[in-house]
A and B are shown apart, each in its own frame.
Chain A
Amino acid sequence: MVTGLKHFFTRPLPWLLLHLVNLLPALLLGPLLVGSFTWMARYPLFRIALTERSLDGLIDIFMHAAEAASDASPLTLIGFALLSLLLPVLLSLRVFLEGGVLLTYAEPTAPGLRRFFTGCWRWLGTFLAINLLGWIAITLIAAVGGALVALVWNVALWLGQTLAVLTLLLLGVLVTWIELARAAAVAHDTRNVFAALRESGALFVRRPLQLLGLVGGALAVQVLLMLLSRAVMRAIPIPWWLLSLAVGQLVIFLRLGMRMARRAGMVGLCAVQRQA
């Protein structure tokens, strides 16, 4: 695991690449989606409402929406259309890049760009299959668990609450297993879905504490980041756009970093298991 984490810090390419992939579409779509609000900027009340986060002022401004309709921008509609097209593309891109990311942390020496993208192609099919199996399992467990909880809740509240917690824990384990399976596939250099699932499943038994430490620690840091960022962003007045952008990007960067670190750690754990 330590080797994996070392690779995370010394090989920043995946981190930077994924941040760009996350940022660029948002930079394109964001201004489009708010294009319809341009007419509001003539009202001083608009700035006040956004600074104080007051719906009062916005409601008064919206009363003029009808007369501003002719000025309404079609950009927002274009933005929504683009978003609906881009979302599946971006989700697919994430899966595609995963192979190269994990390879970067698995290889003894840092791979170049060519090797990176070779890795992306090599494991794309495997990862899609793992993800599909995983989502089927998650859906089944969530449905069964949810139904049981609903059934029991009114009869015995304590039992319902216990079942809910257990269902959530099981789902958490399942999600971790899927992610670990992808890491195992790369660490063991296999494209066999079931072999990857088997190897990653074995880690739960052989190295539970290390796994718990890695996943739990990453989760704790993510939650802390989110709570901190929520508090900070709420404190920053909306018109202070430059500060919002800087703080927001820092938080996104760190959140992405935690994901990369978690993956790097998983790859490291799988590599140790392989050597053993």
Chain B
Amino acid sequence: MKRYLFLFLAALLCLGPAQAGRAQPAPAVTPPPEVASYSIEVRYDPETHQLAGEQTIRYTNRTDTPFPDLVFHLYLNAFRSEETLWMREAGPDHRGFTFNPEHNGWSRIESLTLADGTALTVAAVDTDETLVRAELPRPIAPGKTVTLQLVFSAQLPEVFARTGWADDGDFVMAGQWFPKLGVWEGADGWNAHPFHANSEFYADFGTYEVAITLPEGWITGASGVSLGEPERNDYGMETHRYRAEHVIDFAWTASPHYRALTRNVDGVTVHVLHYPEMRGTAQRIQRATADGLRLYAEWYGPYGMGLYPHLTVVSIPPGAGGAGGMEYPTLFTVGAMEMGVPLPACIKLLEIETIHELGHQWFQSVVASNEAEEPWLDEGFTDYITTRAMEVLHNGAMSDCGGWNFSYLANHRLSYLMQPDVVVARPAWEYAGLMDYAVATYSKPALALTTLERIVGEEAMLGFMRAYYERYAFAHPSTQDVWDVMAETLGQEMADWFFESWILGSDGMDWYILDMGETHVIIQQRGGVCTPATVHVQRRGTALEEKVLSCDSLVTSLSGVERLISVEIDPDQTLPIDWDLANNGQRHTPDPAPLLGLAVRMILFLQDLFLGGGAAW
């Protein structure tokens, strides 16, 4: 237990003046080697909501082990019916939006051939065909590239689980719309899992060149950069061309109703696509995006490590909220929180959603962890940096209506306290349900990382985060990799304590006052996880005393403390992950000032009521 005291003292030494305002120089970055590159020509029919596409895929074996076959994701097949694995796990709803079986989704590989014309046979891996496999005539050796020609067809569902169409077909958000290769991990084989309800995605870096053919007059947005004006053809259709480099995925959106707000933010062109009646919402999104871009770049490193010149933000129209709140490389969507009416400025859900999805551009699009096997890595880190950004931009508020602040961090606490024994590091399919998943991947890691920052100090935490971002940019880190970076930057003991306590373990922490009299106080610690804490003892006629509670013993008794007024454990709230912050403090006698203050406010409220309320008349 003494090592915790050492940890704590070491952390104190790391504390230094906050230097969040210091801009970071852009680190030198080598663009990642391409692994999976796609050239896709796709035609979308807004009447049938179907896609017809042809892909040329170049996949390079960057491992030491030859791969004998290919495994593709066909994610849309999860929405074929209510009987799929995905649907059985999720129920008919996904995050509050309901599946419409009459407008389902599916995906099919029509043909798959090698560059020399050799046809490959595609067979299902799972019963839902969200994974398919094709044997190769010869294994692809390390360092070699296989080129494939693939023809596919697909149908987008009515907006559900991040993808689909809405507004009678006048809106489409195409996510996970094309057959996508899994990740070849050498001796471990293909990393590709059937599509589970709580799972997201995992793919390799490469270049996407995509040509999308749609009816004339439609406005599109997509990952990457547009290659110019749409090309008209003779059939009343137009082809929109995009190119995205160093990305793990490609998504696009289209509607004849879109308008665009465009702004340059420190060299990044930001387009916010929105319906005309949602201009006010789009302006809020644009402001939040600009603020977030600057903060994250300053804290962790440049957007896209300086390799992404463009960012598209899609303000999801009403009725399509199921497509909102999702991240793709250089594109993200906002609108999962839509309630059909514009949110008042005092409710910051829009800003939170925007800044969160933007944060994924760092932790998902560039630091491309495996979202299926280790979902906490991208969600937990992104929600932590979101909490941090909200602290700077909006005093931490999730809402501050009437001058009363309810913080995003408190929201994490409430969620966490509903399931405080949840284990964070698990594959997506092992969570018991949506609540379990949400607490484990978002709230608990965000709280734990915030607590870690308050223990080690802002500067040290920034050092860890920057090292993580720079080292694993355009790579696929695991939990162990992050552990190792933390050990290098914050110390092995701190890293071990953090991961064993909060990521791998199910215990918690609560410092509390067990008993208090006028001359004694007994403090106890429970939960299984301990970190030292300071305690303030206020006595009549003496200055405030500060003591340190160590983890040597679960019970600490302070005696000889005469004329006690109050005792406060962790007065600076460096431990927001503590189960109960109220029992951290106690007064020997009630504090009259807040009660009198409340009484006065009530008196004034009543006087106002008797005058006729807020009416000036």
Contacts and interface: CB of A to CB of B under 8 A. Distances in A.
B30 to A, nearest CB: 44
Interface string B402-418: 01111101100110000
Interface string A233-260: 1100111110011001000100110000
Contact of B592 (A41, A52, A54, A225): A41
Contacts of B605: 30
Contact of B585 (A43, A223, A248): A43
Nearest to B538: A44
A222 B593 contact: no
Interface in A206-251: 219, 222-223, 225-226, 233-234, 237-241, 244-245, 248
Of A34, A38, A244, chain B has the most CB atoms within 10 Å of the CB of: A34
Interface string A48-69: 0011111111011101100000
A40 B590 CA distance: 8
A233 B616 CA distance: 17
Contacts of B587: 41-44
B403 A175 contact: no
Given A42-B586, A53-B403, A22 B591 contact: no
Determine the main DSSP class of A at the interface with B.
helix
B235 interface: no
Nearest to B591: A41
B600 interface: yes
B584 A45 contact: yes
Contacts of B595: 34, 37-38, 41
Given A30-B602, A54-B405, A252-B604, A42 B590 contact: yes
A56 B410 contact: yes
A237 B596 CA distance: 12
Interface residues of B, number: 46
Given A44-B587, A59-B410, A238-B597, A30 B606 contact: yes
A117 interface: no
A56 B409 contact: yes
A74 interface: no
Nearest to A56: B410
B604 A53 contact: no
Contact of B597 (A45, A50, A63, A225): A50
A33 interface: yes
A29 interface: yes
A35 to B, nearest CB: 9
A138 to B, nearest CB: 12
Interface in B566-591: 566, 568, 571, 580-587, 589-591
Contacts of A136: none
A220 B600 CA distance: 27
A47 B617 contact: no
A31 interface: yes
A191 B598 CA distance: 45
A226 B616 contact: yes
Contacts of A248: 600, 603-604, 607
Interface residues on A, range: 35 or more
A202 interface: no
Contacts of A226: 614, 616
Contact of B611 (A40, A41, A52, A252): A252
Contacts of B585: 43-45
Given A44-B591, A248-B600, A60 B611 contact: no
Nearest to B516: A42
Contacts of A234: 403
A26 B610 contact: yes
Contacts of A59: 406, 410, 414
A45 to B, nearest CB: 5
Contacts, number: 153
A156 interface: no
A51 B590 CA distance: 16
Of B568, B582, B614, which is in contact with the most chain A CB atoms at under 10 Å from its CB? B582
A56 B405 contact: yes
Contacts of B582: 43, 45, 57, 60-61, 63-64
A23 B607 CA distance: 6
Nearest to B584: A45
A34 B602 contact: yes
A44 B571 CA distance: 9
B600 A241 contact: yes
Contact of A57 (B568, B571, B581): B581
B514 to A, nearest CB: 14
Contact of B594 (A56, A219, A239): A239
B616 A50 contact: no
B599 interface: yes
A12 interface: no
Most buried by A among B414, B586, B593, B597: B597
Given A53-B404, A238-B597, A244-B604, A45 B591 contact: no
B601 interface: yes
Nearest to A236: B597
Nearest to A54: B405
A90 B610 contact: yes
A90 B602 CA distance: 17
A42 B600 CA distance: 19
A27 interface: yes
Contacts of A29: 602-603, 606
Interface of B: 403-407, 409-410, 413-414, 566, 568, 571, 580-587, 589-611, 614, 616-617
13 contacts: A22-B610, A26-B606, A31-B603, A44-B568, A47-B594, A56-B409, A59-B414, A63-B582, A223-B616, A225-B616, A238-B598, A238-B601, A241-B600
Given A47-B594, A239-B591, 7 more contacts: A26-B607, A44-B568, A44-B586, A44-B587, A60-B582, A239-B596, A245-B604
- Closest 5 A/B residue pairs (Cβ): A222-B616, A41-B590, A30-B603, A44-B585, A56-B410
Interface of A: 22-23, 25-27, 29-31, 33-34, 37-38, 40-47, 50-57, 59-61, 63-64, 83, 87, 90, 175, 219, 222-223, 225-226, 233-234, 237-241, 244-245, 248, 252, 255-256
